[in-house]
Amino acid sequence: MSTHLLSTTRAPSKSTRFRHLALALSIFYLLYNVTTLYSVSLYKLYPSTIHNLATAFDSAIPFIPAMIVPYSWSLILFVVSFFLVRTSTQLSLLSYRLILATIFACLIFYFYPARFSFSRPIPDDWTQFGYQFLQLVDKPFNQLPSLHVSYAILLGVSLWDIAGSRKSWVSGAYRLLLTGICTLIALSTVLTYQHHLLDMLGGAVLAILVLMLSNRIRNALVIKYLAVGSIGFLLIAIAGFCFANMSMIAFESIETLAIIIALYWLISFTTLAYAYQQAKPMRDARWFQKSNSGRLTLYTWMKFAPIIIIYNGMSFLGQWYFKVCSKNQKYPLTPYSINDMVKVIASPRLMQTDINNHLTYWLFGCDLLERSRSLEKLLPSVHYQIIVVDLAAEISSHADHLEVAAKNMTSTPVHYLYLPLLDLQPLSDVLLKDYIDLFKRLEALTQSAETRAVNANNESRVEGSQIKDDQVKNSLTTLINFHCVMGLSRSIGVQVLYLLYCGTLTIHSYQSWIEQHYPHAHLTDTYLPQSLVETMANYKSTEHLTTH
């Protein structure tokens, strides 16, 4: 069994449980309160737009004050469930389900606002304090679907198998108790006059749909972008509504513009979530397309402008953070020599203002000032070549700026290759064939440079040049730059795979190599799986056997 599979069966730490709980609760309280604010404001301004879901059957349902007790169990069970699940897989599924239910329900609250239509009596017994508190924190809006019902079903399913006892009666008693608690929570929604029957039905349907969808979610990043898309949509749309109606004159155009922007935001992030959901999402670079110079195309901007703008901001902040944290280290990114002719370097996307310094250091091992002082000692670098391997799908490459700097400095050709990887996308999501195609192209470009180097060396001897052989040899170098957005996980990971492919690293040495050259890198087994490392390390020998 792989390490990744083992990790899913281990008990998550308390800090991990708290993080999942905090995220689920934060999304709930943010979206639920925002949609409640919207519904209350809408009811005051345009009461006819609020729906009434009462049926004839609802009139026959009694009001039972004591049911406020099981109604309050929902929040308790919500919180406790994060500490009852036993494995990381169960914790992830629980989080997925509750977050999906919250964002889908709140989207429905916005598009189909409804209000509880009965007048609830105020009890004069011990339950009155519970109802007074309920009236304070939960207005009679956000009706369809009932999140109490959805949560009750989702929590019941998520906690169904956690009683790991060999005695069948213990498991049976536990499941009976769990069923009773969840059933009472669901029934309490109508018996406390908080919801109508259709709300209960809607909550059950939502829970079923979430259960079907959550079992197909590939990773937390899908949930992340669905949540970001939904949160952004609701905040933008409701902010536009509030702004338009706070004015002395109702600016309908402002609200319409806000809804258009909100819908664009939602569609863009939902499309990105769908891309992450694909088993091999970046095949043929159909999501984030770029030009031959590494610039994102207009079509890509039209699809993903919010994401691209966010990543440009992240790139700027990342570069600033990188400079601040490495201020005592003038050039923290040092190329690694595969041999005398080839160097490799992993980097974030470089800012235009930093290109010259980095390039000078990578090629000559000095800064611009040192190079200008000793320019006569440096040979014209006509036989240098730089290969930029762009792994940053969400942002334009620095290849074009690097090409300008290289031409001004050394007349060095720059080759651009693109292997798009989404942020935090496991490297195993890319087809092995795509890696091999990339590495073979690198081999071809490297061998081409070596051929030119040999020819240049021979010509220098024939023409009686005074340049020494070792000088010529040192000036004939291929520099391969793997770059991602702002961190180094992607670029280091693919660089490691390339070195494994070349035979420079082995499955026994790559971890120590990472620790030595990139001590602050965070390459977990989930991100860079051991199985992929072994496949890449053994690829050439396997290919040799299959071809003979």
Do 515 and 424 share a structural domain? Answer: yes
Do 143 and 37 share a structural domain? Answer: yes
- The CA distances from residue 52 to 34, 115, 130, 404, 434, in Å, are 20, 6, 25, 65, 55
pLDDT reported for residue 247: 64
In b/e form, how buried is each residue of 339-378, taking b as 16+ CB within 10 angstroms? Answer: eebbbbbbbbbbbeebbbbbbbbbbbeeeeeebeeeeeee
Given 183, 217, 251, the domain boundary residue is 217
The dihedral region occupied by 247, where left means phi > 0, alpha psi between -120 and 50, and beta the remainder, is beta
Q: Is residue 303 part of a domain?
A: no
Do 195 and 98 share a structural domain? Answer: yes
Instruction: Quote the number of domains for the chain.
Output: 3
pLDDT at position 449 over 50: yes
pLDDT at position 170 over 90: no
pLDDT at position 330 over 50: no
Given 173, 197, 217, the domain boundary residue is 217
Q: Which percentage of the chain shows pLDDT scores above 90?
A: 41
pLDDT reported for residue 460: 53
Do 97 and 82 share a structural domain? Answer: yes
Structure confidence by residue, pLDDT tens digits, 82-133? 999 999 889 999 999 999 999 999 999 999 999 998 888 888 888 888 888 8
Do 357 and 436 share a structural domain? Answer: yes
**CATH number, domain at 421?**
3.90.190.10
Q: Is residue 191 part of a domain?
A: yes
Q: Is residue 538 part of a domain?
A: yes
Structure confidence by residue, pLDDT tens digits, 285-315? 677 889 988 999 999 999 999 999 998 888 8
For the chain, the average pLDDT equals 83
Do 234 and 174 share a structural domain? Answer: no
Do 194 and 239 share a structural domain? Answer: no
Do 174 and 267 share a structural domain? Answer: no
Do 157 and 265 share a structural domain? Answer: no
Structure confidence by residue, pLDDT tens digits, 11-43? 888 999 999 999 999 999 999 999 999 999 999
Distance of CA 326 to the CA centre of its chain: 26
Structure confidence by residue, pLDDT tens digits, 380-411? 444 678 999 999 888 899 998 888 888 877 77
Least confident of 17-21, 79-83, 232-236, 459-463: 459-463
Do 83 and 194 share a structural domain? Answer: yes
- The CA distances from residue 185 to 9, 145, 156, 383, in Å, are 30, 15, 11, 74
Q: Is residue 495 part of a domain?
A: yes
3-state secondary structure of 465: coil
Q: Is residue 464 part of a domain?
A: no
Q: Is residue 111 part of a domain?
A: yes
CA-based R_g, the chain, Å: 30
Do 362 and 500 share a structural domain? Answer: yes
Q: Which residue type occupies 244? A: A
Q: Is residue 299 part of a domain?
A: no
Do 423 and 365 share a structural domain? Answer: yes
Given 277, 302, 323, the domain boundary residue is 277
The whole-angstrom separation of Cα 405 and Cα 283 is 31
Long-range pairs for 434-443: beta carbons < 8 A, 24 or more residues apart: 434/282, 434/283, 435/494, 435/497, 435/501, 435/536, 436/501, 436/539, 438/389, 439/497, 439/498, 439/501, 439/502, 441/417, 442/387, 442/389, 442/417, 442/480, 442/498
How confident is the model over 124-150, as a mean pLDDT? 88
The whole-angstrom separation of Cα 548 and Cα 546 is 6
Q: Is residue 293 part of a domain?
A: no
pLDDT at position 454 over 80: no
Give 36 or 251, the one with higher predicted confidence: 36
How confident is the model over 328-347, as a mean pLDDT? 77
Q: Which residue type occupies 50? A: I
- Full domain range(s) for residue 235: 219-277
How confident is the model over 239-264, as a mean pLDDT? 82
Structure confidence by residue, pLDDT tens digits, 421-439? 888 778 888 888 889 999 9
Structure confidence by residue, pLDDT tens digits, 182-229? 999 999 999 999 999 999 999 999 999 999 998 888 888 889 999 999
Least confident of 48-52, 64-68, 72-76, 350-354: 350-354
